[in-house]
Amino acid sequence: MAIENDGKENDVMSKEEILAKSREENKHGDEREQQSIYKAAYIATGVGFLFYGIISLVLALFDKHSYEMDIVTFAIIGTMYTIWGIKTTKLKPFFLAAGIVCIAAFVTSFVCWILQLCGIG
């Protein structure tokens, strides 16, 4: 449909077209929702690192080490930071570097755990 307004033609969208366009724009969720998910993940990461540090210190005091805890922690955080580094434009180098360091720590911990299981380490 076309309507003339001050000598200009404008396309008028139907209700269905407007709804389809709105659904397409919001298919990845509300921006406020995305920001709250990002903030929750950021806080959860901080809390996780805090408890990881506390547990590691306690284990060190008792001359013990848990490669399993390292493996899980570094796998989760390395994956999360790497994905953030790929998907974001802000702080891309920081997130990619942190992700790569955590993935390297994951691989190292995993190899040490396998060696420990084999009685080598």
> Does the predicted TM-score (pTM) go above 0.75?
no
Per-residue pLDDT at 54: 92
Tens of pLDDT, residues 58-94 = 988 998 888 888 899 899 889 988 998 898 878 889 9
What Cα–Cα distance (Å) separates residue 55 from each residue in 51, 88, 113? Answer: 6, 31, 18
Dist. CA 117–CA 119, nearest whole Å: 5
- Compute the average pLDDT of residues 6-12: 55
pLDDT beyond 70 at 28: no
1: pLDDT confidence band, cut at 50, 70 and 90? Answer: very low
CA atoms of 58 and 53, how far apart (whole Å): 9
